[in-house]
Structure 1
Amino acid sequence: MIRSAFVASVASAMLWAAVPATVQAAEPTAYQQLNLFGNVFELVRARYVGPVDEQKLIYSAINGMLAALDPHSAFMAATEYKDMQERTSGEFGGLGLEVRMEDGLVRVSRPMEESPALRAGVKAGDTITHLDGTPVLGLTLNEAVEKMRGRVNTPIDLTITRDGATAPIVVRVTRDIIRQPSVRFRAEGNAVYILITSFSEQTESGVRRAMSEVRATLGDKFEGVILDLRNNPGGLLEQSVAVVDAFLERGEVVSTRGRDPGSVQRYTARRGDLAEGRPIIVITNNGSASASEIVAGALQDHKRAIILGTTTFGKGSVQTIMPMGDQGALRLTTSRYYTPSGRSIQGTGVTPDVVVEQARIQPLSEANAKIAAAAPPTAGRGATTPPDYQLARAVDLLHTLSIYQKSRITN
C-alpha cells in the first residue's frame, strides 16, 4: 500500500507543472516502469544497513534520470534554485564581503565599496571566527556564506580577529541589498574595454553604462570596443541578445529551434550601434560558453567583430527553468540555438578569427573565487584586471583596424 501510494505520488510529481496532454497520453508502459523504482525504493528503506535520507534518494534518482539526457538538464533543490535566481538577478541580501576559507576560518579578502560590512568597520585581512556566536570552524565555505546572507535589514554579529588587536572584536552588520555587477569596464589604450563575467539581468545596462562613461572619458580618441568573454559560462539568453543588439544596426542575432520543427524563434537587432561602426574585438577562450557563444557567433557572422583568443566551449543548447513549487525547479534542455548563418556550435564552439593562446590567465581556486554575501570587484570607474598577452594583442589589433578604417574614410 505504501509502495503504491509512493509510486502514485512520484508519477503525479513528474506530471505536475502543466504537462501537455500529448505527454500525458504516452504509452502506459513507461509509467508502469515506476513500479520497479518503487520496489527498489522500498527495499532500500527496509533493508539498507543504515538510516536513509528519503528525499536525497528521490532527488538523486530524478537527477540520474536527467543525466541520461545531457549534462545540462538537472533538478535543483529549493536552496540551489534560490542561489540560481540570485546569480541571474544580480542582487541579494547580504553583507558585501569577498571572503575565502583559510585554516578552517573565513578570511576577508575585501569589503566592497559602500557595503554594509564596510560601513560597520570590517576590514580586508580580518578573520571571521564566529557568526552570531556560532563557531565558523567546522563549517564549509558555502555554509558560512549561507549564514551571512539573509533578509534585508536583519543584523548579524561577526566575531573577528584582526592583526594588531589584542582581543577578538564583535562587529554588528545589518544586511542590505548587495548587487553583483556582471560587467566591469575601463579605458584600455583608446578602447572601451568591457569584461562580462556572466549574463545576468543587469548585463545590458552595464554594457550601456560602460560605453557611455568610457566614451565620454576618451572623447575623440575613442577607437573601438574590446569585449572580454573569457571564462564567461553564459546566463540569460535575452541578455546576450541585448548585448549583440547594442552593436548591430540590423539583422538576426540568434534563432532557437526546439523539438517541434515549427518551433523556431528568431531574435533580431534594432537600429542603433553604440560603437558607431568602430572596430570591435571579442576575446574568447574554452571557458566562454552558451550565451557568450551567442554573442561571439552573431558578431562574427555579421562581420561586426573579430574574434580573438581560443575556441569556445561549444554549448549550443538552451535550458528552460520550470519551477516545482517549494520543492525546487527543473532545468531542462528544450531547444538548440543557431547563429545568424545557421550554424550550430554544439560540441564545436566558435573558432576565433585570430588564434592567440592563453598566456597569463591564471585559474582561481574554488575557495579564492568564492563570493560570500558580496559581489565581484566593483564595476565601473577604477575596475581593473591584470594585464595579459591576449588583451595586449587585442589592443594592438584594434588600434591597427582603427588606423585602417580612418585611412579609408580619408581617402
Structure 2
Amino acid sequence: MKLRNGLLLGSAFAIGLAAGPLAGRIAGLPEGPFSLGMAALAQEVPASAADSGNHAEIARYLVLFGQVLDLARAKYVEPVSVHDLINNALSGMISGLDPHSSYMTEKQYGDMKIQTTGNYGGLGIEVQGQDGHIRIVAPFDGSPAARAGLKPGDYIVAVNGHDVDGQPVDTVVQTMKGKPGEKIAVTVLREKAPKPITVTMTREIIHLQVVRSALYGNIGYIRVSQFTEETEARMHEAFNKLKAQADAKGAGGKLQGLVLDLRSDPGGLLNQAIAVSDDFIPEGQIVSIRARDPHEDQRWDARGTDMTNHLPIVVLIDGGTASAAEIVAGALQDHRRAVLLGTKSFGKGSVQTIFPFPGYGAVRLTTARYYTPSGRSIQGLGIVPDIAVKDSRSDPGFSVHEADLAHIIKNEGGNRSKPVARTDLPAIAGSIPDEPPANWPDLDLTKPDTDFQLQEGLRVVRSMAGLPAPDVTANATPPHNATAHAVP
C-alpha cells in the first residue's frame, strides 16, 4: 500500500467491516439473524487481524458485536435501523483511536472532497470533537463565521437556541448546514467571557479564499488560510503580483522581504504543504513520514528553487497553526530559511490517509507520524516560535492544543536532542516586546494596523532587509500609512 498525500483536519466519519470465522455464542446474550449469520461469513481470519490475539478471541468479539446489535434492534425504546447501528459502531471504533481518525458516510465523504477543492456550502468553519464537546478549530477567512467574530477555541453549545453540547460532531455539522440565504444563530462558550455568546449568521456558498496578499511599503504579505488543492498555485500568483506591485513604484521599488501568515491555518493536504515549502527552500529535506510498516516510510526533498530569490522571510504562527501549516513552519525554521514569530503552534504531528469504500463512504485513518528536516516530531509539542509575541494582553491565546485532546498518539521516533540555539536571528529580535502595550487598540482583522503580531513581524523583516524598522509601540498608536492590495 502506498500512503496517499492526505493530511486533513475537521469532522469526518467512515465505514468498513471485516469478519472472520465465528464459533459458539456468548451466554446470556440474545440470538438473532445477524449474530447467527456471522458464523458463515468467512473461513479464515486474516493473519494481520490476529496480531494481538488468537483467532478464537477475534471470533468471540465479532459474535458479541452481532449479538449486541440484535439486542439494540429488539429492545431499544424506539425502532432503530441496522444502517444507523452499524454507522454508529464504525464511527465509534475509528474515532476512538485518536482525535483525527474518523468514519465518513458516503455523503460526508463527498462533502469532504468538495471542501478540499476550496468551494462548498455552509458557514465556513472548521470544527472538531473534544471530550463530547464541539470545538472550533478555525473560521475561514472571509466566511460568515469569521465575519461574525467566532474564534479558534470557542465551543459551540447551541444552534438556533437548541442545546447541541454532547452531540456527535456530524450531527452538529448537519444542523448548521442548510439553504444559502437562511439565517442561523450559533451560541459559543469562550474562555474568560462572562457568559455565552450568540451570533447570527447567514448561510452562504463558501468560496474559500485560501491565499490573500498585501503590500506594506516594500514588504510583501501573504496569508495562507488552508492547504487545499489550489493553495500553492494561488500563492505563486500572489507573490508574482506583489513583485509587480513593488516594481511599479519605480526606482528602488523592488520587493525586499516577505511575511508569510500561517496563523489559525488548520492545515489540509500534505502535498500542498510540501509544494509551498519547496517554493522557499532551495535544497535539503522538507519533511519525512514514518508509518507502522517501514516500507511505507517516505521523505520529500526540495528541488533547488526559491521563488523569492532568498528574500528575508518572517512566518507568523499561533495555537491555531496546525498540521500541514506546521510542516511548512517546521521546515522553514529547521533550514533557518525564516524567522518564526508569534505563539506556539497546535502540535499535530500525524498524517491521515483516506481509504474509500465505494458505495458506503470512507475511513480517514492516522497512518503515520511526520518529522521536520532535523528529525523532530512536533506531535503534542507544537513548534515554538523564534520570537514569542502574543496578539493581545488579555487574550490567553489559543487555549486548546493537541496535547489537550483525548487519546492522542504518542510522540515517538523523533530527534530528542535539544534544538541548537539560533545564532542567525536579527539583532532586533531581542527588543521585540512579547505583548502589545496597555493602550494598543483591540484587534480588528479588517484593520492591519491593529494586528500587533503582524506589525512586529513587518518590523523584523524590515530589519532583516536592512530597512528602517521603527518601534510601532513608541507612541502606542499604530501607523496608518499601509496600503493593502487583496489578491482575488
Compute the TM-score of the two structures, normalised by the length of structure 2: 0.59
**Whole-Å Cα distance in 2 between the matches of residues 353 and 5 of structure 1?**
62
**Whole-Å Cα distance in 2 between the matches of residues 305 and 361 of structure 1?**
28
**Whole-Å Cα distance in 1 between the matches of residues 70 and 61 of structure 2?**
15
**Whole-Å Cα distance in 2 between the matches of residues 98 and 234 of structure 1?**
15
Q: What secondary structure does 2:463 align onto?
A: helix
2:379 is aligned to 346
Q: Pick from 220, 224, 235 the counterpart of residue 192 of structure 1.
A: 220
Instruction: Say whether 1:396 aligns with 2:424.
Output: no
Instruction: Say whether 1:332 aligns with 2:365.
Output: yes
Instruction: Say whether 1:90 aligns with 2:118.
Output: yes
Structure 2 unpaired stretches of 5+: 1-31, 126-141, 148-159, 163-171, 184-203, 248-252, 399-444, 469-488
2:28 is aligned to none
Structure 1 unpaired stretches of 5+: 16-20, 100-111, 113-123, 125-136, 149-157, 161-174, 365-382, 406-411
Question: What is the letter of the counterpart of residue 212 of structure 2?
Answer: R
2:304 is aligned to 271
CA contact (8 A) 1:89 1:200 kept: yes
**Whole-Å Cα distance in 2 between the matches of residues 75 and 179 of structure 1?**
26
**Whole-Å Cα distance in 2 between the matches of residues 196 and 50 of structure 1?**
48
2:344 is aligned to 311
Question: What is the letter of the counterpart of residue 304 of structure 2?
Answer: R
1:409 is aligned to none
CA RMSD of aligned residues (A): 3.5
CA contact (8 A) 2:318 2:342 kept: yes
1:216 is aligned to 244
Instruction: Output aligned runs, 1:6-405, within 5 Å.
Output: 7=38, 22-23=47-48, 27-28=54-55, 29-92=57-120, 142=174, 145-148=177-180, 179-219=207-247, 220-359=253-392, 386=448, 387-403=450-466
* Greater share of residues in helix: 1
* Greater share of residues in strand: 1
**Whole-Å Cα distance in 2 between the matches of residues 354 and 8 of structure 1?**
62
Compute the TM-score of the two structures, normalised by the length of structure 1: 0.69
**Whole-Å Cα distance in 1 between the matches of residues 287 and 173 of structure 2?**
38
**Whole-Å Cα distance in 1 between the matches of residues 394 and 179 of structure 2?**
32
Q: State the Cα distance separating 1:84 from its structure 2 match.
A: 1.1
Taking a change above 3 Å as real, the CA distance of residues 286 and 98 of structure 1, as seen in their structure-2 partners, is closer
Q: Which deviates the most, 386-395 or 207-216?
A: 386-395
Taking a change above 3 Å as real, the CA distance of residues 184 and 332 of structure 1, as seen in their structure-2 partners, is same
CA contact (8 A) 2:277 2:332 kept: yes
CA contact (8 A) 1:317 1:335 kept: yes
2:9 is aligned to none
**Whole-Å Cα distance in 1 between the matches of residues 263 and 37 of structure 2?**
47
**Whole-Å Cα distance in 1 between the matches of residues 214 and 347 of structure 2?**
29
Q: State the Cα distance separating 1:25 from its structure 2 match.
A: 6.2
Taking a change above 3 Å as real, the CA distance of residues 269 and 141 of structure 1, as seen in their structure-2 partners, is closer
CA contact (8 A) 1:258 1:336 kept: yes
CA contact (8 A) 2:35 2:67 kept: no
Question: What is the letter of the counterpart of residue 223 of structure 2?
Answer: L
**Whole-Å Cα distance in 2 between the matches of residues 190 and 323 of structure 1?**
47
The percentage of aligned residue pairs carrying the same residue is: 43
Taking a change above 3 Å as real, the CA distance of residues 159 and 70 of structure 1, as seen in their structure-2 partners, is closer
**Whole-Å Cα distance in 2 between the matches of residues 207 and 384 of structure 1?**
21
Q: State the Cα distance separating 1:301 from its structure 2 match.
A: 0.3
**Whole-Å Cα distance in 2 between the matches of residues 384 and 76 of structure 1?**
36
Q: Which deviates the most, 54-63 or 392-401?
A: 54-63
Taking a change above 3 Å as real, the CA distance of residues 142 and 45 of structure 1, as seen in their structure-2 partners, is closer
Q: State the Cα distance separating 1:394 from its structure 2 match.
A: 0.2
Deviations 1:327-352 (A, max 9, x none): 21100000000000000000101110
